[in-house]
């Protein structure tokens, strides 16, 4: 399994006028969940751009497919990312991972 980290923003991007719901970026790939989560919890990219992060557990290979094995969501609280136990995922039927 691979654990991918994708950052995304659910707020409107006022500077560019783009609906930020589509603004996301896969920023990391790890072979274990613990390393992936440690990277999320010690990173401050939420300060600059991204209000949320998702870790997705996917099979290795080309074009990740659904269903995913598991997802963990984190939200920026103004100082750090915190794990969100009950996140209402607006994109529950698609993978956040976009490689390339």
How far apart CA 39 and CA 18 sit, in angstroms, is 28
Could you read off the pLDDT of 80-89 as tens digits, one per residue?
Answer: 999 999 887 7
**In the sheet where 81-84 sits, what is the strand order?**
24-30, 2-8, 52-58, 70-76, 81-84
Indicate the number of domains in the chain.
1
How far apart CA 69 and CA 66 sit, in angstroms, is 8
How far apart CA 11 and CA 20 sit, in angstroms, is 6
How far apart CA 35 and CA 20 sit, in angstroms, is 27
Residue 92 lies in a domain: no
Domain span at 78: 2-84
pTM: 0.78
Could you read off the pLDDT of 12-26 as tens digits, one per residue?
Answer: 544 545 444 557 788
For residues 39-62, give the mean pLDDT. Answer: 84
Whether residue 97 is predicted with pLDDT greater than 80 in this model: the reply is no
């Amino acid at each position: 399994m691979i654990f991918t980290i994708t950052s995304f923003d659910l707020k409107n991007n006022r500077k560019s006028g783009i609906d930020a719901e589509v603004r996301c970026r896969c920023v990391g790939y790890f072979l274990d969940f613990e390393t992936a989560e440690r990277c999320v919890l010690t990173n401050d990219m939420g300060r600059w751009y991204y209000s949320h992060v998702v870790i997705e557990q996917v099979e290795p290979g080309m074009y990740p497919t659904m269903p995913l094995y598991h997802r963990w969501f984190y939200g920026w609280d103004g100082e750090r990312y915190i794990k969100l136990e009950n996140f209402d995922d607006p994109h529950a039927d698609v993978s956040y991972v976009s490689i390339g």
